[in-house]
Structure 1
Amino acid sequence: MTLSLTRRRIPVRRDAGIYAYERTLARSGFTPVAGTDEAGRGACAGPLVVGAAVLKPGKRGEIPGLADSKLLTPAARERAYDEVLARALAWSVIIVPPDEVDRVGLHRCNITAMRRALARLDLTPSYVLTDGFPVSGLGVPGLAMWKGDQVAACIAAASVIAKVTRDRIMCELHEQWPQYGFDAHKGYVTDEHQQALATHGPSPVHRRSYANVARVVSLGDESLRGDPTYEC
């Protein structure tokens, strides 16, 4: 991949390690570097959560066991989460409720939450690395990276923050609505989750703009129309 540094473009080898991008940027005078990533984009229930992180330069910023949050075991994610919060120069997290995702739209919520997470950092980054999607209007240069949470440390740190925060929220939601099994699938579509949806209908934290949830709502409406006690 190539980093765009104003008028210069500098290649970075993908096998150079997860800290290579931040080190390359630092050598070119871009510090600090912030990363941002989301969790829950593909889930049909629960919030969208976006994290942002700035790691310390050099060896001080290296987090033991840091990797893309999806590649870590739950226990390893929790350990990495604690390390990131203890060692990061700055971090933030934004929680977007499911009804806002329905009302505004997933992608728009995603981009807006990334901007908010970056703005909430205690320091202003000189460069921003984002996972997957370019984020305009930041006032500093940036790069959208394919699978950025696997190749850039600050994005991986942001992904861990977002994922652990969201998983904890889903476990709390399980206490309110245990029939859906949120503690197991975390709101993503599984056979068990879909069966629970069909049996119980959507909960208040399901995203009704998602096709599988909308289908259940539609079927429920149709069954009510067949009932003579139903009033429009």
Structure 2
Amino acid sequence: MLAPPRTVIRREAGLYALEQALQRRGFQHVAGADEAGRGACAGPLVAAAAILPEGKRGEIPGLADSKLLTAATRERVYDLVVAKALAWSVMIIPPAEVDSRGLHVCNLAAMRRALASLEIRPDYVLTDGFPVDGLGVPGLAVWKGDRVAACVAAASVLAKVTRDRLMVELDATFPEYGFAVHKGYITEEHSAALTRLGPCAEHRFSYVNVAAASGRGNRPPRARRPVSAAVPSLFDDVSVTEPLLIPETAEGTVGVASSEQPQPSPSVGEDKAMEGEKR
């Protein structure tokens, strides 16, 4: 029996080419997942997932990797993703959980939960950089997926805008650190504030620079303020639509991701680079 021909997707084919190729192979609902906040030393880790409609209905003007868009464009594209997506989901992991479980474990758990929370079960999953198992559907980890696949780019915008809004809220409580400007990432101004004031409850004490500034090593304070009043605990599966300014008519899921240790399960991802991409 002859094997089916290999599908080669080239970057110049455009942001929608990979999903269209999968849909031609019979995978109608292709979900993308991405995160925001891995490199930040303060604030939550946020993961998102999205399924866009097939064909022209799923094309979103201005959609791209969220890191390449201005703040104003991200907000506009965010509204279009929420309006057009067949399903979308956002999950939040507070900094205390990142400290206790580890960044990579939390990242995979948040993406897994975001994908599992989609109202439409995906036929195929594309993730940015890291394979996510335990989903029961085939998938592919795509290097720089937010620049290759539209559904991953949509997820990156959902995650980035959600996290930026949360960091602006935190800035009102901790104005000395400038969270509204640098969003918890390491800048000269942020480092200077850390040296001068020490870390606050929203910093990640497992990060070397925060641990050094704390004078406590990597031991966080006994009490931490939740990310927002509507997020009382990581283990409460609650909606947090109000503080995230999600439109009431939007159909999606916003919640706190449970970052339990991954359970053994069949692998559904392949950590392969796109055609011509080096890992």
Partner of 1:194 in structure 2? 191
* CA distances 1:7-30 after superposition (whole Å, capped 9, x unpaired): 864211111000001100010000
| 1:92 equivalenced with 2:84 (yes/no) | no
Q: Does structure 1 retain, via aligned residues, the 8 Å contact 2:30–2:126?
A: yes
The offset of 1:98, in angstroms, is 0.2
Partner of 2:176 in structure 1? 179
**Secondary structure of the residue that 1:117 maps to in structure 2?**
helix
Partner of 1:3 in structure 2? none
| 1:80 equivalenced with 2:104 (yes/no) | no
Aligned counterparts of 2:217 and 2:22: Cα–Cα separation in 1: 54
| 1:24 equivalenced with 2:30 (yes/no) | no
Paired residues for 1:70-219 under 5 Å: 70-218=67-215
Q: Give TM-score, length-normalised by structure 1.
A: 0.91
Q: Give TM-score, length-normalised by structure 2.
A: 0.75
Aligned counterparts of 2:58 and 2:34: Cα–Cα separation in 1: 18
Paired residues for 1:42-53 under 5 Å: 42-53=39-50
Partner of 2:253 in structure 1? none
The alignment of Structure 1 onto Structure 2 pairs a total of residues equal to: 216
**Secondary structure of the residue that 2:40 maps to in structure 1?**
coil
Aligned counterparts of 1:137 and 1:194: Cα–Cα separation in 2: 38
* CA distances 1:175-228 after superposition (whole Å, capped 9, x unpaired): 00000000000000001000000111100000000010011123799xxxxxxx
Q: Does structure 1 retain, via aligned residues, the 8 Å contact 2:127–2:152?
A: yes
Q: Does structure 1 retain, via aligned residues, the 8 Å contact 2:15–2:148?
A: yes
Q: Does structure 1 retain, via aligned residues, the 8 Å contact 2:64–2:153?
A: yes
Aligned counterparts of 2:6 and 2:152: Cα–Cα separation in 1: 20
* CA distances 1:35-86 after superposition (whole Å, capped 9, x unpaired): 0000000000000000100000000000010000000000000000000000
Aligned counterparts of 1:50 and 1:219: Cα–Cα separation in 2: 29
Q: Does structure 1 retain, via aligned residues, the 8 Å contact 2:31–2:115?
A: yes
Partner of 1:229 in structure 2? none
**Bigger radius of gyration:** 1
Which runs of 5 or more structure 1 residues have no equivalent in the other structure?
A: 1-5, 222-232
| 1:67 equivalenced with 2:64 (yes/no) | yes
The offset of 1:136, in angstroms, is 1.2
- Over aligned residue pairs, what C-alpha RMSD do you find? 1.5
- Which has more helix, going by share of residues? 1
Give the aligned residue type for 1:201: G
Q: Does structure 1 retain, via aligned residues, the 8 Å contact 2:211–2:217?
A: no
Aligned counterparts of 1:72 and 1:116: Cα–Cα separation in 2: 26
Aligned counterparts of 1:214 and 1:195: Cα–Cα separation in 2: 14
* CA distances 1:144-193 after superposition (whole Å, capped 9, x unpaired): 01110011000000000000000000000000000000000000000100
